[in-house]
């Protein structure tokens, strides 16, 4: 009998694909979500490329395809009675915590959205920590952090900690953080809280500092020919990550929206590698009293490099793609040093799926099949500014 895994934020771009992947591998899986992101989408008037049925409907489809149950809980992580009830009833060995508002642009929109992001994200993490401490401190918590916690310092980025020597003394201390949005700041604050929980209560925590993810399908989503198990693929200026946006723009004939000079570098990964990394973390839990940080990306690219890759792949499909440099709606370095380490997951056995022309071509083809759903009115930057 494999472990029981509770996935918080099970409705999201990564939550549902993770649930199917672990269920397929024989884990007993439950998902929890309050559909808050769907509420924000309605408020902002944005839609994903492919409509996703609700969690119970997807769990029923999954059961029909595989015979496996995925248990569904609908509610707010931040409500203590609800979360405690779920943890007591399901008795997870591992909790994967994706249950946060994940958008930097949304967090910078106005006072309300920055407070919503901070309150929701910190409240959720704190509630999960207390649930684990109170109900079963042995539960391994896998928390989705972000590479954006580090910012873009002019030195190599370590995985969470670094040796510091000062006035002749040495210590291993958390790597300095320079987040670039209230969203990224909320992840820094999450990490600080979790490390406190590890030091004070002996929790076992893995913090996965992930870079921007790309991709539109996984082995499990392909199992349903009607596309009802696909991830929530976003291409709007609030939720779409840069490569997913570029692919959509190429298909619909809009010049790729390079912000500023396009020299911004980030560590990227395919959604199927997110599943691989999270799976490796489940299979190799942190020790009791350990705050383990792993940088979760496979390759570093600048925005300009990504746009060139999309152009080249689209050309082979007969699509002529251009780029346009927009005044940057964000405050960020547009030319900078970037060398982040990512050896922890590789040493656990991560086999990277790199961003080849074939991968981009396959993404372009799937988006082309769904071209009729693309809404041009939500693509261009305009509403989401760093003020
Ligand atoms: N960018 C463009 N054009 C666009 C969209 C983005 O040039 O149309 C640029 C941005 O200015 C930025 C870079 O691409 O320099 C990455 O932007 P992004 O929107 O792909 O990523 P970001 O806002 O940082 O956030 C995303 C996810 C977030 C995750 C983060 C990882 O939404 O949940 O935590 O990637 S990281 O970027 O490493 O912080």
pLDDT along the chain (387 residues), means of 10: 92 98 98 96 94 97 98 96 98 98 96 97 98 98 98 98 98 98 98 98 98 97 96 95 98 98 98 98 98 98 98 96 97 98 98 98 97 96 84
Question: What pLDDT score was predicted for residue 104?
Answer: 97
Q: What is the rounded (10 degree) CA torsion for 133, 135, 136, 141?
A: -60
**Residue reference for tokens 């995985």:** 159
| CA gap 123, 141 in Å, rounded | 16
Ligand 1 centroid to residue 237 C-alpha, Å: 10
> Residue 213: which of 268, 258, 267 has the closest Cα?
268
Checking 170-175 for CB contacts under 8 A at 24+ apart, the result is 175/150
CA 293 to chain centre: 15
Pairing of strands 204-210, 140-146: parallel
CB of 280 shorter than 6 A to ligand 1? no
**Residue reference for tokens 């599943």:** 275
Of 266, 297, 386, best ligand 1 pocket probe by most atoms within 8 Å of the beta carbon: 266
Pairing of strands 323-326, 256-259: parallel
Checking 189-192 for CB contacts under 8 A at 24+ apart, the result is 189/118, 189/121, 189/122, 190/100, 190/121, 190/122, 190/125, 190/143, 190/145, 191/143, 191/145, 191/149, 191/160, 191/293
CB of 257 shorter than 6 A to ligand 1? yes
CB of 145 shorter than 6 A to ligand 1? no
b (16+ CB within 10 A) / e for 335-372: eeebebebebbeeeebebeebeeebbeebbebbeebee
| CA gap 115, 123 in Å, rounded | 11
Question: What pLDDT score was predicted for residue 1?
Answer: 62
> Residue 127: which of 107, 147, 144, 141 has the closest Cα?
141
Ligand 1 atom nearest to CA at 256: 8
Ligand 1 atom nearest to CA at 146: 34
Residue 138 CB contacts under 8 Å (≥ 6 apart), including other chains: 93, 204, 288
CB of 311 shorter than 6 A to ligand 1? no
Is 192 within 8 Å of 207 (Cβ atoms)? no
| CA gap 331, 148 in Å, rounded | 13
Ligand 1 atom nearest to CA at 144: 34
CB atoms within 10 A of CB 269: 27
Give the chain's length: 387
Distances (CA, A) of 247 to 1, 157, 234, 339: 41, 29, 11, 26
Is 71 within 8 Å of 55 (Cβ atoms)? no
| CA gap 287, 381 in Å, rounded | 44
pTM of the model: 0.97
Of 107, 241, 297, 335, best ligand 1 pocket probe by most atoms within 8 Å of the beta carbon: 241
The protein residue whose alpha carbon is closest to atom 27 in ligand 1 is 212
As annotated, the active-site residues are: 146, 183, 187
The protein residue whose alpha carbon is closest to atom 8 in ligand 1 is 257
CATH of range 4-378; options 3.90.15.10, 3.40.50.720, 3.30.465.10, 2.30.31.70: 3.40.50.720
**Strand ranges (DSSP E) for 132-255?**
140-146, 161-166, 169-174, 204-210, 213-214
Is 227 within 8 Å of 50 (Cβ atoms)? yes
* Tokens (6 digits) for 364: 């372009």
Of 242, 274, 378, best ligand 1 pocket probe by most atoms within 8 Å of the beta carbon: 242
| CA gap 10, 14 in Å, rounded | 8
CB of 264 shorter than 6 A to ligand 1? yes
């Amino acid at each position: 009998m494999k472990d029981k895994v509770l996935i918080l934020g099970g409705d999201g771009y990564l939550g549902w694909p993770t649930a199917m992947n672990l269920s397929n591998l024989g884990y007993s899986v439950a998902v929890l979500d309050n559909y808050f992101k769907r509420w924000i989408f309605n408020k902002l008037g944005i839609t994903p490329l492919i409509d996703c049925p609700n969690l119970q409907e997807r769990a029923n489809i999954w059961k029909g395809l595989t015979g496996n149950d995925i248990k569904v809980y609908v509610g707010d992580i931040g409500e203590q009675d609800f979360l405690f009830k779920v943890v007591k009833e399901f008795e997870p060995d591992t909790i994967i915590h994706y249950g946060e508002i994940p958008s930097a642009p949304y967090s910078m929109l106005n006072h309300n959205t920055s407070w919503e992001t901070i309150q929701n994200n910190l409240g959720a993490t704190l509630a999960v920590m207390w649930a684990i401490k109170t109900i079963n401190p042995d539960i391994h918590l896998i928390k989705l952090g972000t590479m954006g916690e580090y910012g873009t310092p002019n030195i190599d980025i370590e995985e969470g900690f670094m040796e510091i020597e000062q006035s002749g003394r040495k210590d291993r201390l958390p790597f300095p953080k320079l987040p670039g949005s209230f969203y990224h700041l909320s992840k820094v604050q999450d990490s600080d809280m979790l490390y406190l929980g590890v030091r004070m209560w002996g929790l076992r925590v893995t913090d996965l500092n992930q870079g921007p993810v790309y991709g539109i399908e996984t082995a499990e989503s392909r199992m349903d020919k009607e596309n009802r198990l696909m991830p929530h693929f976003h291409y709007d200026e609030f939720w779409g990550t840069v490569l997913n946006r570029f692919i959509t723009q190429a298909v619909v004939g809009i010049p790729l929206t390079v912000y500023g000079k396009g020299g911004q570098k980030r560590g990227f990964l395919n959604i199927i590698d997110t599943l691989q990394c999270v799976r490796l973390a489940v299979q190799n839990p942190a020790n009791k009293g350990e705050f383990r940080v792993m940088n979760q990306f496979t390759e570093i690219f600048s925005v300009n490099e990504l746009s060139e890759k999309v152009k080249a792949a689209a050309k082979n499909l007969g699509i002529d793609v251009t780029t346009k440099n927009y005044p940057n709606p964000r405050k960020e370095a547009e030319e900078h040093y970037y060398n982040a380490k990512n050896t922890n997951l590789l040493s656990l056995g991560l086999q990277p799926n790199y961003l080849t022309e074939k991968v981009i071509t396959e993404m372009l083809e799937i988006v082309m099949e769904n071209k009729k759903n693309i809404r041009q009115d939500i693509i261009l930057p305009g509403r989401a500014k760093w003020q």
